[in-house]
Structure 1
Amino acid sequence: MTRVSSLSSPFLLGFDEIERALDRVTKAADGYPPYNIERIGGAEGQAERLRITLAVAGFTREQLDVTVEENQLFIRGRQQEDKARQYLHRGIAARQFQRTFLLADGMEVLGADLKNGLLSVDLARPEPERVVRSIAISEQE
């Protein structure tokens, strides 16, 4: 079966990497931990700001890791089993997770904050500089 890409138009040149990124994003469909993405109002003339908020109740700052590698934001959480505790009922599992967000070129991670079980990661999307360049046309005989 041949897969027809929405980016296979002859007018869309060099978008192979975007197509691969879309494939990666659709495969990462695990729902844990739940998260929100919101647009934060900025002052006129400032870069657009976004905030990703993850519900990470039970994780300490030391158990969370936020990294940027190339154009991907990785948010990881690692909890260790507490062998000293004896549970009568165990409804909250010690769980690991990794959330990956693909960042557009120019996106900048401003910082991360953990408060009341919510991890917030702030991002800025600067307005791209418009570049107009004239291309000389050579004449061949």
Structure 2
Amino acid sequence: MRTYDLSPFWRSTIGFDRLLDLVNDTVDDGDTFPPYDIERISEDQYRISLALVGFTLADVAITAERSTLTVEGRKANEDERDYLYRGIPVRPFRRVFNLADYVQVKDATFEDGLLLRIALAREVPEALKPRQITIDVAGNDHQKSDRTQAA
């Protein structure tokens, strides 16, 4: 694992604290369970799909908080079966996804008891979207009125 020194960025940036914390705290712990996909559906829509074979709807919990999405799974009661071979893993898991600003969880579906799909969308508030600014001519009311009539 490499460690990066981000102190030069801290000295020359303002307001990027969260981004630098994400870069600094990102750790690949090697745990690949459960397998998942992240898809971009359109410019502002995404979908996370997790393969949850062996889990039921009651075994899975999804929590959305501010800038994170957490999916947790734990078998409620383990069957007392006598397995000769157990190839379907059902161990407890906790998967955390960091969400960008204004990304919201729209819905979640559990398809055929195998695949958990979580729909996400970026919804930027109207006040923060780009808008056209009119330009007025300062000090000369005559030019302003001529320009308004021409438009």
Q: TM-score, normalised by structure 1?
A: 0.75
User: Over residues 54-110 of structure 1, what are the superposed CA-to-partner deviations in whole Å (9 max), with x where a residue is unaligned?
Assistant: 111111001011111121000111114535211122233330111111111111100
Moved more, 77-86 or 109-118: 77-86
Question: Within 5 A, what are the aligned runs for 1:31-50?
Answer: 31-41=32-42, 48-50=44-46
Structure 1 unaligned residues grouped into runs of 5+: 42-46, 134-141
User: Over residues 13-65 of structure 1, what are the superposed CA-to-partner deviations in whole Å (9 max), with x where a residue is unaligned?
Assistant: 12122221223333454211111111114xxxxx7110000111111001011
Secondary structure of the equivalent of 2:27?
helix
Deviant stretches of 4+, over 6 Å: none
Are 1:124 and 2:121 counterparts?
yes
Secondary structure of the equivalent of 2:9?
coil
Distance (Å, rounded) in 1 between the aligned partners of 2:35 and 2:84: 27
Are 1:84 and 2:84 counterparts?
no
Are 1:25 and 2:22 counterparts?
no
Q: What is the identity, as a one-letter code, of the residue corresponding to 2:109?
A: D
Structure with more contact order per residue of length (Cα contacts < 8 Å, sep ≥ 6): 1
Higher Cα Rg, which structure:
2
Distance (Å, rounded) in 1 between the aligned partners of 2:61 and 2:116: 10
After superposition, the Cα gap between the structure-2 partners of 1:59 and 1:18, relative to the gap in structure 1 and judged at 3 Å, is: same
Structure 2 unaligned residues grouped into runs of 5+: 134-151
- Count residues with an aligned counterpart: 127
Distance (Å, rounded) in 2 between the aligned partners of 1:24 and 1:11: 20
User: Over residues 107-131 of structure 1, what are the superposed CA-to-partner deviations in whole Å (9 max), with x where a residue is unaligned?
Assistant: 1100100113110000001245137
User: How big is the alpha-carbon RMSD for the aligned residues of Structure 1 and Structure 2?
Assistant: 2.8
Larger helix percent: 2
Are 1:104 and 2:100 counterparts?
yes
Q: Percent identity?
A: 35
Moved more, 122-131 or 13-22: 122-131
Secondary structure of the equivalent of 1:37?
strand
